[in-house]
Amino acid sequence: MAKKDKNTAGSAKREFQSYKKPKRKSNTTQQNINIAEIKEDTVIMKDGTLRSVLLVSSINFSLKSENEQNAIIAAYVNFLNTLEFPLQIIIQSRKLNIEAYIKKLEDAEKNQSNDLLRLQIHDYRQYIRELIELGEIMTKRFYVVVPYNPLSDKQKGFFKRSLEVFRAAGVVRLNQERFLKRKRDLSLRLQHIIGSLNSIGVKSIVLDTQSLIELYYNTYNPGIYEKQTLVDLNELKVER
């Protein structure tokens, strides 16, 4: 009886050792991001819709007179009332990065022949670095994301809009002709938004492809972005 129990225990042990837990599928960051492609100053989403991003200036509202404040508020309300599509307004705060400026001061210090000026540059450089580190100075940037979804285009019929949405399932296979057509529709929206913001006193520019890549890279990798800068898009070599 004891011999039988010993064999049973050995068999169970071997089965336990041979059992391997199923491997979990690791989800990469790319799989969780809804962006399919960025090209021609436009973000193409995985569902076939498009996005453009505007970098907008800010207004020091508190320094305006009462009449100017009322005019700005009225213009902003009018801007919101004229919208026929959703917008996304983003405020991004980041710690001020002055490494490029510090490097410029270091070069000026090395190339300065006057000992007094060289010493002053050195002291100034140290002062600026300590000020930034102790003060935790932040920079703010303001963005407006303008989307285009064929389903939301009221100028087209319902069936035509629905057909374009179903065709968008191709995602990356969005052909150039259809992309350019949707981009033209998106450009009309951009011009409307830029003009409306300008009436409020807010200047705006459309981010190009390189700026869009850097924006999303910085957003998803804030720690890495400060230590590792991206290569310029024109310098990238893609094997075909």
Question: According to the model, what pLDDT value does residue 64 have?
Answer: 92
The DSSP bridge partners found for residue 38 are 43
Number of Cβ within a 10 Å radius of residue 195: 11
Question: According to the model, what pLDDT value does residue 33 have?
Answer: 79
Question: According to the model, what pLDDT value does residue 70 have?
Answer: 94
Which stretches of 40-178 are assigned E, i.e. beta strand? 42-45, 50-56, 88-95, 138-148
Question: According to the model, what pLDDT value does residue 166 have?
Answer: 47
Question: According to the model, what pLDDT value does residue 26 have?
Answer: 54
CA 112, distance to chain mean position in Å, is: 40
Cα atoms in the 13 Å half-sphere on the side-chain side of 200 = 23
Residues 6+ apart with CB under 8 A from 156: 150, 164
Torsional class of 48: left (φ above 0), alpha (ψ -120 to 50), beta (otherwise) = left
Question: According to the model, what pLDDT value does residue 195 have?
Answer: 93
Write down the pTM of the prediction: 0.65
**Cα distance between residue 214 and residue 138, in whole Å:** 19
List the domain boundaries for the chain. 33-92+141-228, 97-136
Burial grade of 56 (CB within 10 A; 0-12, 13-18, 19 or more): buried
Cα atoms in the 13 Å half-sphere on the side-chain side of 102 = 14
Count of residues in the chain: 240
Return the residue matching tokens 């010493």. Answer: 119
Q: What is the pLDDT along the chain (240 residues), one digit of tens a residue?
A: 545 555 555 555 555 455 555 555 556 666 677 888 899 999 998 888 999 999 999 888 989 999 999 999 999 999 999 898 999 999 988 777 788 888 999 999 999 889 899 999 999 999 988 887 777 777 889 999 999 987 765 555 544 544 554 444 444 456 788 888 899 999 999 999 999 999 898 999 999 999 999 888 888 877 665 555 555 545 544 333
